[in-house]
Structures are given as C-alpha cells and as structure tokens.
Amino acid sequence: MDLRSDTVTQPTLAMRDAMTRADVGDDVYGEDATINALEQRVARWLGKEDALFCSSGTQSNLLGLLSHCRNGEEYIVGQEYHTYRYEAGGAAVLGGIVPQTIEVEADGTLSLDTIAERIKPNDPHFPITRLLAFENTHAGQVVSQDYFAQARSLAEQHGLKMHLDGARLVNAMAATQLTAAELAAPFDSVSVCCSKGLGAPVGSLLVGPADYIARARRWRKMVGGGMRQAGILAAAIDYALNHHLERIQDDHDNAKWLAATLQNLCVNSHIGVSDARTNMVYVTLPSLEFAQSLQRFMEENKIKVGAARKLRLVTHLDITRHDLERFTVLFEEFLKTQ
C-alpha cells in the first residue's frame, strides 16, 4: 500500500496487453499511428487545435513555457506551483525565461490585484511579461472557473497568454462535472498528466494552437524528448482514457471516507485532518519526529507514507477501501502508543 502519491500505480494486466498490441512507427518522422491518434484525441478532448505527446509533466510544462516565452521574457506564476517550484528551474535554465512568483492564496488562486501590480510596463529596465501560469488542481484543490474567467480578462487587457498546468485535470473534471474542454477553455495551452490518477506508466500531453504545438515539437526534439516507437506508451494512455477516467470518482470517495475516519480518530488530539481535496487528505502532525515514527511504524506494516509534518495522503487506482480501513486501524493503534 503506497499513499505517498498517485504516480505510484502499476500498469494493469489489461493495460499491458493493450500496449503489446499497439501499432507503432517512428514518431520523430510522425509515423507512429498510435501517437498520432492519441494526440488528435487529446486535442479534441480539450477543445484545442493540436497536442504533443511528452515524456513527463515536467517536460510538457517546460515545452509549454518555452513555446510561449523567449529569452528575457517573463511568466507570472505561483510560488508553490509546480512550474516554478518543482521543475528544477527548467524554464529559466534552458529558456532564459524570468519567473515572477506570487504567493498562492488559500483557494489555490493568485491575487488578481497582485498579478496586475507585477505585470511590467514596456520599459527597457524590465523583462517583458508574456504569460500567466496557473495550476488546477493545486494541492488537490479545484480552482474555480469563475476565477479563471477573471484572470483571462486581465490577461487579455495586457496581451498576455495563459498556461494551465492541468497535471490533475481529470480530478477537477470529476469534482466539478465539467468537461475537459470547459476546464481548458480559459487557457491558450494546457498540460495534462496521464501517469497520475489515470494510471498510465508514462506520459503527459501539451495542447494548444497548431503553430504553438509546432514550436513545442521543435523544443521537444532539442531537449531530447523525440521518442521513436512511443506508441507503446500512447496505447497505455488510450487504454487509461477508455477505462480509468470514470473511476476517478472512486478515488475522491475514498479520500472523503479517509478524511472523515481520520477526523474522528483525531478529535481531542494535536493532529489536524483536512477535508478531502479531490484525491488528497492532508494530516498536520505535532512534530517532524512524530511524522518520522509514524512513517517507520507504517513501513513495518508494509505501508508507504511520507515523513512530513504536513503529511499528504493520496488515493489512487491501487488503493481500495479495504486498504484504507487497514490503514486507519493501524493509525489508531499508532496513536495509542504515543
């Protein structure tokens, strides 16, 4: 049992079977039929012109930023967003793109007033502001479409583009009952991950206008992401879109159950348990030492959790309700030893 992340899922036997039967070719020559079909499918799904298969969400976001901004241009981004904090500074290192970070609000948004203050006037002192980069879901939280509509009108007033890191867009879909195209509508470009809740082993897609995706394709080659018979991976994603999309709601239901059960166990304790945020529950523990001994205790019982004071528990394809029952029984047992 591994509750650290939804990236830990194992490809199912049926998924592996679909992979063995994939029609493949050399994708750098544009000859992989399974990749071509997947890119078309995902572009249509998100209501955009074109899509590009990428090796990871980090690569997809990187190509996304590189294709919007040139050297010396700037993107405005949340301090805690993945495209700034968790991608090793790739946009700055490889693209000379300047990040202008802003603190993320409790609801996962960036203050529009602060964004407006940070947009640079045309002056040789300043980098050229080009792009607003957002995230949905952020730390499991769904960001409201109302907010994105307002951000869009601000972006348009200033001639800026908008990129969405939609690593967990499928979780936002399940939570809001909106379509992928509705969620993607305020954005020029979107990155979606297929190796998280969808349960494919590898791959993300970048979607956007055709000329933008053509630029991203060149960047992908440059950073070594041009893959050959990659259709074997696209087949896994195709399978996931057909068979794992509907069940995302199960992960959210499981997270709800987990949050409610832990909240019950933790009343009158020094432990705070968040409500479920899509497929995540956050548990605030009294100290790092407490977190580390909880991790050791769970490890002895063959359960993997992180060791942070603010512990993130993530539900996914390989976590059943029965697993969570066992986890909460052990959690209660651990509390008694403290």
Nearer to ligand PLP (CB atom), residue 186 or residue 203: 203
- Contact status: 233 vs ligand PLP (CB under 6 A): no
Smallest separation, CB 54 to ligand PLP (Å): 9
What size, in residues, is the chain?
338
Comparing C-alpha atoms, which of 80, 97, 46 is closest to residue 219?
97
- Site pattern 278..307 for ligand PLP (x: CB under 6 A): ------------------------------
Mark out the alpha helices in 89-200 (DSSP H runs): 90-95, 112-118, 145-157, 169-176, 180-184
Smallest separation, CB 212 to ligand PLP (Å): 19
Nearer to ligand PLP (CB atom), residue 15 or residue 192: 192
- Contact status: 165 vs ligand PLP (CB under 6 A): yes
- DSSP lists the bridge partners of residue 131 as 75, 161
Q: In what order do the strands lie in the sheet with 280-284?
A: 272-273, 280-284, 310-314
Number of residues that bind ligand PLP (CB under 6 A): 11
Site for ligand PLP in 82-101 (CB under 6 A): 82
- Nearest residue to ligand PLP, using CB? 57
How many CA within 13 A on the CB side of residue 264? 8
Q: In what order do the strands lie in the sheet with 204-208?
A: 50-54, 204-208, 189-193, 161-166, 128-135, 73-78, 98-102
Nearer to ligand PLP (CB atom), residue 58 or residue 274: 58
- Binding test (CB under 6 A) with ligand PLP, winner from 34, 56, 67, 295: 56
Nearer to ligand PLP (CB atom), residue 223 or residue 265: 223
What CA–CA distance (Å, rounded) separates 183 from 166? 9
Smallest separation, CB 123 to ligand PLP (Å): 32
What CA–CA distance (Å, rounded) separates 94 from 134? 20
- DSSP lists the bridge partners of residue 314 as 280
Smallest separation, CB 316 to ligand PLP (Å): 12
Which 8-state DSSP code applies to residue 193?
Answer: E
Which 8-state DSSP code applies to residue 55?
Answer: S
- Contact status: 193 vs ligand PLP (CB under 6 A): yes
- Contact status: 135 vs ligand PLP (CB under 6 A): yes
Nearer to ligand PLP (CB atom), residue 61 or residue 67: 61
Orientation angle between helical segments 321-337 and 288-300, nearest 10 degrees: 120
Nearer to ligand PLP (CB atom), residue 74 or residue 135: 135
Nearer to ligand PLP (CB atom), residue 198 or residue 291: 198
- Binding test (CB under 6 A) with ligand PLP, winner from 1, 167, 232, 298: 167
Please give the helix or strand (H or E) that residue 290 lies within, else none. helix 288-300
Nearer to ligand PLP (CB atom), residue 135 or residue 238: 135
Which tokens sit at 165?
């890191």
Chain positions contacting ligand PLP, by CB under 6 A = 56-58, 61, 82, 135, 165, 167, 193, 195, 204
